[in-house]
C-alpha cells in the first residue's frame, strides 16, 4: 500500500526534504518530528517554517537536517570496492605524482571514512602533505568525527597490521595516530548548497568519495549533486560512489571506468581530447579501456515459455548477461538495451536480486514508480527468503536489502 509522497509531508518536513535533497523515509520523518516538536514552542508549522527560511533560523534548520541524516558506518566499509580503488586508482595516482593528493569525503558522517582514506593514502605512499577533507550536514556528527576516536566494533574490518600501525588504544576504544589526524580537516556542508568546498590550491580534488549518501536523494537532487561533485574534481580526478548508486544517466563531465570488481567515475582531461580539426580516431581506440565493446544479446524469450531450471548453465548465462548490462550502464548506452538485458537475466534466474534491483532503478528513472517498487520488493523477497546469490562486487546481501528498503521508501511505498 502506497503511503503519501512529498505532497503529504508537513510544511516543515517538505522544506527539510527539499533543502537536504532527501526523499524522507518513515523513520526519517519520525526522527524529524521528534526534533521539531520541542522547537515549535507554541508556534504553528507555517510560522516556524518562515523562521527556518530566515537567516536567524539557520541553526534550527541544521538541527532538523541533522536529524534525518544517516550515520551508520564503519572503517574500511565495502572492502571489495576499497581494494579495487587502491589497486586501480589510488596506488597508480600516488606513484605518478610527486605532489600532495587531495581527497574529499562528502557525507563523512562521524569520520570513519576520513580515517580510512588517511590510512589508504599512507599505505599507498602518497606525498606526506596529502590531505582529506570531511564534510557532512550534521554538526553533531562532525564534532564526533574530529575526535577520531572509535568504538572497537567500528574497526572490525580493519586488517590487524593496519590497526596496530595506525591506532592507539584508549579506555573506550581506539584513536587514530596524530600523524594522520593532522592531515584531515572538517567543514559543515549541505550537498544541495553552492558553493561546494574547494581543494587546497583550488585546482580541484584528486578523488571525491560520496558513498551511501545519494541513495537517500530524489533523482533530481542526485543529478544536481553529481554534477556539482564532478565540477570539483580536477581533470583526471575520480568520483567514487557506492555500488547502490550506479549512474544510469551519463554525466557530461564524467567517464565511467569499470574495473574487475568496481565502477569509478573519471573526469576526463580536456587537454587529452582530440581537437575538432583532426579526424576522429577509430571506434576501438576511442572506447574507454575499462568498458570493452560488447556483442548484442538475443531478444528475451516469449513470455509463454516456462523459465528454465536454475542449473549451472542458466546461471552462468545470467551472470554473463549481467556483466554486459553493467558495461552498457557504465557506458551510458541505451536504456532499452539495458532493460532487455536485465529481463533476460531474470528469465534465466528469477531470484537474481541484483538484476531485479537494477531493473527497479531503470524503471524508476523512467517514471514507472509502481513497476519499480514491484521489482524492489521482489529483490528484497529473494534476499529475505535466502534464494538470492552473491554477485561479484555488486553489493553484499545485507547492503542490497538496505538499498531495496530505501528505494521503496524513496518511492513512497512500504
pLDDT in tens, 50-72: 888 888 887 888 788 777 776 66
Q: Answer for the pair 400, 354: CB distance below 8 angstroms, yes or no.
A: yes
**Closest-CA residue to 335 (of 363, 355, 372, 375):** 363
Pairing of strands 184-188, 233-240: unpaired
Q: Which pLDDT value is given to residue 392?
A: 56
pLDDT digits (tens, 9 = 90+) for 138-194: 888 999 999 999 999 999 999 999 999 999 999 989 999 999 999 999 999 989 888
C-alpha dist (Å) from residue 106 to 21, 194, 213, 241, 294:
14, 14, 8, 10, 34
Whether residues 261 and 322 share a domain: the answer is no
Instruction: Name the region of 63 (left: φ>0; alpha: ψ -120 to 50; beta: rest).
Output: alpha
Mean confidence (pLDDT) of the chain: 80
Assess whether 51 and 173 both reside in one domain.
no
Where helices occur in 21-90 by DSSP H, the ranges are 26-40, 45-52, 58-68, 79-85
Residue showing cell 606513484 = 95
Question: pLDDT per residue over 2-12, tens digit each?
Answer: 333 444 678 88
Task: Please indicate, yes or no, if residue 165 is contained in any of the structural domains.
Answer: yes
Mean pLDDT value across residues 67-86: 83
Q: Which of the two residues, 390 and 36, has the higher pLDDT score?
A: 36
**Would residue 47 count as lying in a domain?**
yes
The H-assigned helical ranges of 196-297 are 219-231, 283-286
The CATH code of the domain that includes 233 is: 3.40.50.150
The three cell numbers of residue 119 are 590510512
Is 400 domain-assigned?
yes
354 and 222, same domain (yes or no) = no
The cell numbers describing 241, all together, are 560512489
Examine the domain organization and report whether 91 and 134 are in the same domain.
yes
pLDDT band, residue 21 (cuts 50/70/90): confident
Cβ pair 319, 311 in contact under 8 A = no
Q: What pLDDT is stored for residue 313 in this prediction?
A: 72
Q: Which pLDDT belongs to residue 283?
A: 33
Regarding whether 241 and 119 lie in a shared domain, the answer is yes
Mean pLDDT for 314-331 is: 73
Q: Is 360 exposed, middle or buried (0-12, 13-18, 19+ CB in 10 A)?
A: buried
Its domain, for residue 17, covers: 6-68
Q: Greater confidence, 21 or 232?
A: 232
Residue 256 pLDDT class (50, 70, 90 cuts)? confident
Q: Judge whether residue 308 has pLDDT over 70.
A: no
H/E run at residue 106: strand 102-106
Q: How far apart are CA 131 and CA 102, in angstroms?
A: 5
Instruction: Answer whether residue 98 shows pLDDT above 80.
Output: yes
Considering 44, 68, 92, which residue would you say is the last residue of a domain? Answer: 68
Residue 134 lies in a domain: yes
For residues 132 and 126, the answer to whether their CB atoms sit within 8 Å is no
Tell me the Ramachandran region of residue 204: left when phi exceeds 0, alpha when psi lies from -120 to 50, beta otherwise: left
H helices present in 183-250, as ranges: 219-231
pLDDT number for residue 10: 86
How confident is the model at residue 235, as a pLDDT? 93
276 domain-assigned: no
Model confidence at 311: pLDDT above 60:
no
Q: Considering its fold, how many domains does the chain have in total?
A: 3
Q: Is the pLDDT of residue 1 over 60?
A: no
Amino acid at each position: 500500500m502506497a503511503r503519501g509522497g512529498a505532497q503529504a509531508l508537513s510544511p516543515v518536513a517538505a522544506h527539510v526534504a527539499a533543502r537536504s535533497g532527501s526523499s524522507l523515509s518513515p523513520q526519517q520523518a519520525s526522527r524529524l518530528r521528534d526534533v521539531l516538536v520541542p522547537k515549535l514552542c507554541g508556534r504553528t508549522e507555517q510560522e516556524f517554517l518562515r523562521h527556518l527560511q530566515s537567516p536567524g533560523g539557520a541553526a534550527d534548520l541544521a538541527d532538523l537536517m541533522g536529524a534525518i541524516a544517516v550515520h551508520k558506518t564503519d572503517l574500511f566499509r565495502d572492502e571489495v570496492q576499497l581494494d579495487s580503488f587502491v589497486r586501480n586508482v589510488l596506488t597508480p595516482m600516488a606513484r605518478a605524482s610527486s605532489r600532495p593528493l587531495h581527497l574529499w569525503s562528502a557525507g563523512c558522517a562521524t569520520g570513519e571514512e576520513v580515517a580510512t582514506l588517511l590510512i589508504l593514502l599512507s599505505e599507498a605512499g602518497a606525498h606526506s602533505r596529502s590531505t582529506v577533507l570531511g564534510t557532512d550536514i550534521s554538526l553533531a556528527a562532525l564534532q564526533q568525527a574530529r575526535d577520531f576516536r572509535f568504538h572497537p566494533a567500528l574497526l572490525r574490518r580493519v586488517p590487524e597490521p593496519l590497526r596496530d600501525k595506525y591506532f592507539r588504544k584508549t579506555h573506550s576504544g581506539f584513536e587514530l595516530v596524530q600523524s594522520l589526524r593532522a592531515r584531515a580537516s572538517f567543514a559543515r556542508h549541505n550537498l544541495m548548497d553552492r558553493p561546494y568546498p574547494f581543494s587546497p590550491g583550488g585546482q580541484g580534488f584528486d578523488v571525491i568519495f560520496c558513498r551511501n549518501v545519494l541513495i537517500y536523494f530524489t533523482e533530481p537532487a542526485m543529478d544536481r549533486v553529481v554534477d556539482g561533485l564532478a565540477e570539483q574534481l580536477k581533470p583526471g580526478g575520480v568520483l567514487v560512489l557506492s555500488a547502490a548508486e550506479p549512474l544510469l544517466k551519463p554525466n557530461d563531465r564524467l567517464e565511467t571506468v569499470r574495473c574487475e570488481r568496481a565502477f569509478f567515475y573519471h573526469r576526463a582531461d580536456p587537454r587529452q581530447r582530440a581537437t575538432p580539426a583532426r579526424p576522429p580516431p577509430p571506434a576501438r581506440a576511442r572506447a574507454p579501456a575499462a568498458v570493452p565493446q560488447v556483442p548484442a544479446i538475443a531478444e528475451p524469450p516469449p513470455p509463454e515459455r516456462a523459465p528454465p531450471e536454475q542449473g549451472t548453465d542458466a546461471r552462468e548465462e545470467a551472470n554473463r548477461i549481467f556483466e554486459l548490462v553493467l558495461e552498457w550502464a557504465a557506458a551510458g548506452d541505451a536504456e532499452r538495451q539495458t532493460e532487455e538485458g536485465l529481463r533476460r537475466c531474470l528469465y534465466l534466474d528469477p531470484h537474481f536480486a541484483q538484476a531485479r534491483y537494477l531493473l527497479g532503478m531503470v524503471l524508476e528513472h523512467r517514471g514507472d514508480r509502481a513497476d519499480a517498487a514491484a521489482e524492489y520488493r521482489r529483490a528484497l523477497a529473494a534476499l529475505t527468503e535466502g534464494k538470492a546469490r552473491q554477485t561479484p562486487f555488486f553489493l553484499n546481501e545485507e547492503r542490497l536489502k538496505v538499498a531495496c528498503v530505501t528505494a521503496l521508501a524513496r518511492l513512497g511505498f512500504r
